[in-house]
Amino acid sequence: MERRQPPQTEEGWYVLHDFRSIDWDAWRDAPERRRSRAIDEGIDYLTAAESVADADEGDSATFAVLGHKADLLVLHLRPTLGDIDALERQFEHTALAEFTERADSYLSVTEVSGYMSQDYFDDDAEMDDTGMARYIESRLKPEIPDAEFLSFYPMSKRRGPDHNWYELPFDERAEYLSNHGEIGKGYAGRVTQIISGSLGLDDFEWGITLFGDDPTDVKELLYEMRFDPSSSRFAEFGRFLSARRFPPENLGAYLAGDRVPQEGGDAHGGHHHGGSDSSGHHHGDSESGGHHGDSGGHHGDSSGGGRPGSDDEDVRSELEEIGVYAGQPHGEDVHAVVLYSEADADELFDEVDGLRTNFDHYDTHVKTAVYEPSTVGSGDTENAIVSLWETERAANTAAGFLADLPDIVRQAGDDDSDSWGTMGMFYTVKPDHREDFVGTFGDVGGLLAEMDGHRKTDLLVNQEDENDMFIASRWDSREDAMAFFRSDAFGETVEFGRDILADRPRHVFLA
């Protein structure tokens, strides 16, 4: 008898959806002293959980559940079951717990499967696709999105006499899930997901958590997916629970019946995340993802990914000493994701344009565009996708969708640690001076080629606006790049830029 091939899976963080009902009669009858203590201890517990004070990494968030099924949802993601277990028991020691009963819970673990990338599980294969590697990492260790609305439901694949998912050949299952994922891509920027496996951990096989600022986006996505054969033939669902996120400091307002989140507060609690690595395990089955100018200077992009840190501050200080503008401490309130693709520029633009339409639904989206290499530079043929956001978290979320674009070869910030990168954004050239700018870049490029430690420099041009450009360089070391910034040639370029650029170049951190 033929045995069907199960996909390999890798597991990441454990997930607990902890649903609580409040004993409203007991709450109303309790003296003010007891209620005040319950609120204070509840806020302390929820704040500590959301700041991940109990573990090296993870995430937590607090939600008000809509309808009769529960009142509160506390969502936890942690590296180990021990972390989850401790969080459960710590809540029971709060005064708030005296007024609650557990209405429901769901335990699962984040996962990716061989349906998504066979190379990821092949010991002999190399993950040349850096974008895919980062996307997989974001699936195993996700951040809870900054979205107001949450929809959670468990699901399994059918094993009935007419439709049995587990009797299908591997390639057929993979094709079903690939087509299913294409639907989810159409909602990029509007709906974000966390998929977690629960086979052997809870009643169904997966837990699906969807996030969005507009509940109707989630509704439309699920309605469209119901007509896809992966769902219509093979999916069985548990009950759905909906909730709205609020920050822990609004707990008192929530219990008082006031509107939450309250106006003027941080709607998402300002939570933080840990940062160490954890390893996964291999076994089981998984549903695939997709469920869905003043200066010509560059900002440093170190091997650590370009996020703010001590190295960034050192670079800023050095540049300031020589009169080079290096942007504000947080990247002039924008964060960038920059990925490189070997795909045809027109094909790439069509894909990016679809994502951009969805990104525009978010107020934090600033800009997404495709940049092509100009005829001057190192001669690289890679195109760049640049996506700007007002928050680092939004940029990181967008990176997950952008990494699925065709022929992505790397993401800026992921380069080898034996080099140092700089990036200048954005050079908006006055139309009458475009040729002057390109010509000067060619002259400076000739000087760069003769400098010690210089590897390459490229000028890339916005496919939709030839006057919008950025410059990316790679050096053997930071010291080599700083030597260029201190050079007379660079100083002359700065003075030249004052006259031909329409705006001051923007310098951003790379998410």
The answer to whether the CB of 499 falls within 8 A of the CB of 436 is: no
Q: How far is it, in rounded angstroms, from Cα 41 to Cα 236?
A: 39
Nearest to 471 by CA among 460, 487, 479, 480: 460
Residue that the structure tokens 């950025």 belong to: 470
State how beta strands 335-341 and 509-510 pair: parallel
408 - beta bridge partners?
341
CATH T-level topology, domain 299-510: Alpha-Beta Plaits (3.30.70)
What region does 378 belong to: left with phi over 0, alpha with psi -120 to 50, or beta? alpha
Q: Note the pLDDT tens digit of each residue in 219-260.
A: 999 999 999 998 999 999 999 999 999 999 999 999 999 999
Q: Please determine whether the domains at 9-255 and 299-510 fall in the same fold group of CATH.
A: yes
Domain residue ranges of the chain, discontinuous segments joined by +: 9-255, 299-510
pLDDT at 510: 52
Half-sphere exposure of 191 (CA within 13 A, CB side): 26
- Position 319 scores a pLDDT of 64
What's CA 393's distance to the chain center, in Å?
6
Instruction: Tell me the pairing of strands 72-78 and 149-157.
Output: unpaired
DSSP 61-92: EEEEEESSS-SEEEEEEESSHHHHHHHHHHHH
Task: Report the distance separating Cα 154 and Cα 198, nearest Å.
Answer: 9
List, for the chain, all residue ranges whose pLDDT scores fall below the cut of 70: 1, 115-132, 262-333, 376-381, 413-418, 423-426, 494-495, 497-498, 504-511
Q: CA 22, 25, 28: angle at the middle one, nearest 5? A: 100
pLDDT at position 295 is 33
Q: Which residue has the tokens 């005829």?
A: 375
The partner residues of 112 in beta bridges, in order of sequence, read 10
* Alpha carbon 423 to chain centroid, angstroms: 21
> Per the structure block, which two tokens stand in for 171?
């390639």
CATH number of 9-255: 3.30.70.1030
pLDDT at 237: 95
Separation of first and last alpha carbons in the chain: 50
Q: List the beta bridge partners of residue 320.
A: none
Cβ neighbors of 511 (< 8 A, separation 6 or more) are 305, 306, 307, 335, 336, 337, 389, 392, 395, 396, 399, 413
User: Among 202, 155, 157, 132, which Cα is nearest to 4's?
Assistant: 157
- According to the model, what pLDDT value does residue 368 have? 93
* Nearest residue to 336 via CA among 298, 306, 297: 306
Up-side HSE of residue 223: CA atoms within 13 Å toward CB?
A: 6
Closest CA to 459 of 451, 485, 468: 468
- pTM surpassing 0.85? no
Task: Tell me the CA distances in angstroms from 170 to 24, 117, 167, 285, one per residue in order.
Answer: 51, 13, 9, 11
Cis check: omega of the bond before 261, within 30 degrees of 0: yes
Before 426, cis peptide (omega within 30)?
A: yes
**Catalytic site residues?**
153
